Amino acid sequence: MPEPAAGIGAPATLSGRCALVTGASRGIGRAIATRLAAHGAAVVLSSSPRSQDALQAARDDIRARGGRAECLVAELGDDEARRALVAQAAELAGGIDVLVNNAAAIPAFEPASAMTLATRRRLFAINLDAPIDLVQQSLPAMRAKGWGRILNISSDTVRQPEVPYAGPAAMVHALSVYGASKAALERVTTGLAAELHGSGVLVNALAPQRIARTERAERVAREVGRTRPEWVEPVETMAEAAYQLVAGTFTGLVTGSRDLMYRLQLPLHALDGRTVIGDCMTPGVA
């Protein structure tokens, strides 16, 4: 059986590496965990209690593919619940070398002018505080090994809309606070990358461009794809780009999935890391 495709500046295998992927019960998180496992990483998938059945199904699917996978339930919006997550994941997997902060709270379509303080606090707790907490928990072991990868999953909603906005008003208005939380995460990403430069711990942020075709976004992706197909990408694109950042040597990079693949001039693989299903030779849309 051929080896999975190698990352830039890295061998094809992640054998001996252990990864924690949050928000991994479905969609982008599940795809990234599946791709990392295909390259030999032992993965721990985490999600909220509400997604426990889907989380176990994701774990079982990776195992059926021949990968190593465990799962942990944790409510990342709760300080106490996430305090021991990295230690628990390390115990299951044998350590944590890779942290993928993918879990996110996405509010209902509610504009900033009407969003309650409780909603805002939960949104920032999951989208910003939780990634920082998990990074702080992961860093001692990564620094001791002199090797670590931190990947923060961002969003195209960090983009500044034109005013007046000509697109769907509900989306741009409702996602402004969500986009602000992801913009803050991007700034933390570059700050961490600078702080950890030379330590062997690399930190990057990655966002889909613009809609990843996941189970949750399938209806929106289908509707948008009818008129703007360039705005929709298969979930494998995020998995491919995430793998390249985990296995590669970039740090301090804040990028979109297709922009990264265009930069690397690499084909797009299925989640098995072997089968070529397309190309990423077109940069992300403006």
Active site residues: 178
3-state SS string for 88-131: HHHHHHCCCCEEEECCCCCCCCCCCCCCCHHHHHHHHHHHHHHH
User: CA–CA separation, 257 vs 236, rounded Å?
Assistant: 10
**Cis amide linkage into residue 161, ω under 30° from 0:** no
- DSSP-assigned states of every residue in 180-224: HHHHHHHHHHHHHHHHTTTTTEEEEEEE-SSEEE-TTTHHHHHHH
Tokens of 217: 């976004």
Residue 58 belongs to what H/E stretch? Answer: helix 52-64
